[in-house]
């Protein structure tokens, strides 16, 4: 269910000409989070790693709510 939904959203909002660049920009922070968590797994433990993942997911949800609350641009400014 996740991958079809993401594919649909990606095709709707990301232009094909910039798709590769935009995806790679978002891939870099994700890989840094994964690498840093794996390097610190001895100190964090399994429970700490899961708590860190939950905290990052919470931050992502809060960012999504902020984006959702922003007013949509109507495009009328472009015509002027």
Residue 7 has a pLDDT of 83
Residue-wise pLDDT for 34-50, tens only, equals 898 888 889 989 899 89
pTM for the structure as a whole:
0.60
| Residues 68, 62: Cα–Cα separation, whole Å | 10
Unique residue bearing structure tokens 């991958």? 3
What's the pLDDT band for 51 if we cut at 50, 70, 90? very high
Burial class (CB in 10 A: 0-12, 13-18, 19+), 18: exposed
């Amino acid at each position: 269910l996740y991958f079809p939904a993401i594919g649909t959203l990606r095709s709707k909002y990301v232009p094909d000409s910039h798709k590769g660049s935009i995806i790679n920009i978002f891939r870099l922070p994700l890989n840094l989070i994964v690498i840093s968590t794996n390097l610190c797994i001895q100190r964090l433990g399994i429970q700490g790693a899961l708590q860190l993942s939950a905290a990052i997911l919470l931050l992502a949800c809060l960012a999504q709510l902020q984006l959702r609350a922003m007013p949509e641009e109507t495009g009328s400014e472009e015509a002027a």
